[in-house]
Structure 1
Amino acid sequence: MYEPIQTAKVFKQIAEQIEQRILNGELRNGDRLPTELELAKQFHVSRTAVREAMKMLAQKGLVDTRPGRGTIVIDGAHTALQSSLGLVMKLKWGEMGGSENLLEVREILETEIAAIAAERATEKEITAMREAIAVMDAYMHDVNTFIAADNRFHEALAQATQNILILLLTNSIVNLLSEQRKQIFSVAGGPQRGQIHHKRIFDSIIRRDAEAARAAMREHLRQVREDSADPA
């Protein structure tokens, strides 16, 4: 038996029209939508329906309502993906094999990320990597500052692939990576060993040597695996 057809709620139809314009590129990141009153007039609906539509779009990470600025179109894909994947991983961490499976994912992704980055990195990403390494050198005994810079180094590598999907995927697990990095930071000599590998990866990137970058990242992740297993 088929389910009875129900008329879609008005606010959903409003949200769908605006979402389609965003997906089509008619509305871009940073564009300001008409006011609530103006949209109500254009759609011939109540302001309440427009307000509910904006809430729906905000939940999808497509718009942001800012006091004094109105409703702005935003690129919320990264935040939405990070939030949803991060929640799933927290709930299913034990079933997923925990740190061991995270390492396996990193070995699959990050070795190729390093190789592609060596071929495509722009001066912007190279500068970001260089600055992140300098911060890690300066804050070898400050766990939070060191790990924030470590995250930035690996994010710059992902950005250097010039592939937005790779960046979204890696950023979606950044919280898990931070926890893993904290564990390694507590191992005697862990930060120092990590820095040796970071610098080797970086050297390969600036030399545009994809195979060397791949190998350097593989060695780095081998070090991560060994330090993750360290009982200290």
Structure 2
Amino acid sequence: MKSVTASVAETLTQDLALRIMRGELQPGMSIPGENELAVQYNVSRTSVRNALQVLGAKGMLTIQAKRRSTVAPREQWSFLDADVLSWLEEIGIDDALIEQLMITRLIFEPNAAAMAAINANGRDLADLEDAWEIMSQGQQQDSADLFKQGDLAFHTAILKAGHNPFLFSVGNALSAAMLFSFKRTLEPDVTLTLEAVDAHRELMECIRLKQPEQARQQMRHILLSAAKKHLGDPLPDRLEHFLSAS
């Protein structure tokens, strides 16, 4: 069970983060000191200090000894952090950021799928099949939670199947963004995701048959299809390279 101090600090952290994201606290602006924030929010200085340290670690504040913390530029935020993504979702994330997320996935995941096709062993294939079964159950039962659980497990299994510790570490860093992406591109009626389930099955077969180029192209197809659901068809010009590569 979380302590009261931790809960207060988390609430304060979120409120300050949302004020930054909404533009109420602009980049370069000094925020009030610990004493002032403690009075303003009716909390202890310890809670304030904890909140500021968390936001500093997430790249949203620049903290210097004996000086007031300042709001960091947006490009310094830790966009792969689960809390940052959750806060962005709360204020309403724009299509431009979703587009950048899909570009990031398109740069990384097709090659990870090719690596999986080269290196996957029997255990890896079993993990992929288990994850795909969960996705399929989610589709059949119209369960968004089940579908997202299987989708994340499937893509995580692909990263593990590459047997490259560096790629897997990058994948772990991307996992929160991947889950966020799944939520943004999932059909409102999960029973309509049969095409996506079939596409993942085809990718699994490419990996099983050790076909790296086919796996790369199939993963690209899956990601572009997901992007079209949110960003529309045709896709934005910045995704043109990935369309021509498919």
- Confirm or deny a common fold (TM above 0.5): yes
Aligned position for 1:132: 131
Q: 1:176: how far off? A: 2.1
Amino acid at match of 2:130: E
Structure 1 segment 70-109 matched on structure 2, within 5 A: 85-86=80-81, 90=85, 97-109=96-108
Q: 1:226: how far off? A: 0.7
Q: 1:171: how far off? A: 1.8
TM-score (norm 1): 0.57
Structure 1 segment 21-32 matched on structure 2, within 5 A: none
Q: Distance in 2 between matches of 1:161 and 1:210?
A: 11
Tell me the SS of whatever aligns to 1:186: coil
Amino acid at match of 2:220: R
* Number of equivalences: 149
Q: Distance in 1 between matches of 2:84 and 2:120?
A: 30
Amino acid at match of 1:127: A
Amino acid at match of 2:128: M
Q: Distance in 1 between matches of 2:96 and 2:167?
A: 22
Partner deviation per Cα, 1:209-229 (whole Å, 9 max, x = no partner): 011101111111110111122
Q: 1:135: how far off? A: 1.3
Which residues of structure 1 form unaligned runs of 5+?
1-82
Partner deviation per Cα, 1:114-149 (whole Å, 9 max, x = no partner): 111100011111100001111111121111111011
Query: Is the aligned partner of 1:216 residue 2:218?
Result: yes
Q: 1:163: how far off? A: 0.9
Q: Distance in 2 between matches of 1:139 and 1:160?
A: 23
Does the aligned pair in 2 maintain the 1:187–1:227 contact within 8 Å?
Answer: no
- RMSD over aligned Cα atoms: 2.7
Tell me the SS of whatever aligns to 2:81: helix
User: Which has the higher mean CA deviation after the structures are superposed, 92-101 or 159-168?
Assistant: 92-101
Query: Is the aligned partner of 1:164 residue 2:159?
Result: no
Q: 1:168: how far off? A: 1.6
Does the aligned pair in 2 maintain the 1:187–1:230 contact within 8 Å?
Answer: no
Structure 1 segment 6-155 matched on structure 2, within 5 A: 85-86=80-81, 90=85, 97-140=96-139, 141-155=142-156
Q: Distance in 2 between matches of 1:226 and 1:115?
A: 23
Q: Distance in 2 between matches of 1:159 and 1:123?
A: 12
Amino acid at match of 1:173: L
Identical-pair percentage: 21
Tell me the SS of whatever aligns to 1:173: helix
Q: 1:177: how far off? A: 1.7
Does the aligned pair in 2 maintain the 1:139–1:145 contact within 8 Å?
Answer: yes
Does the aligned pair in 1 maintain the 2:114–2:215 contact within 8 Å?
Answer: yes
Does the aligned pair in 1 maintain the 2:82–2:176 contact within 8 Å?
Answer: no
Q: Which has the higher helix share?
A: 2
Q: 1:87: how far off? A: 5.8
Q: Of residues 191, 195, 198 in structure 1, which corresponds to 2:197?
A: 195
Which residues of structure 2 form unaligned runs of 5+?
1-77, 234-246
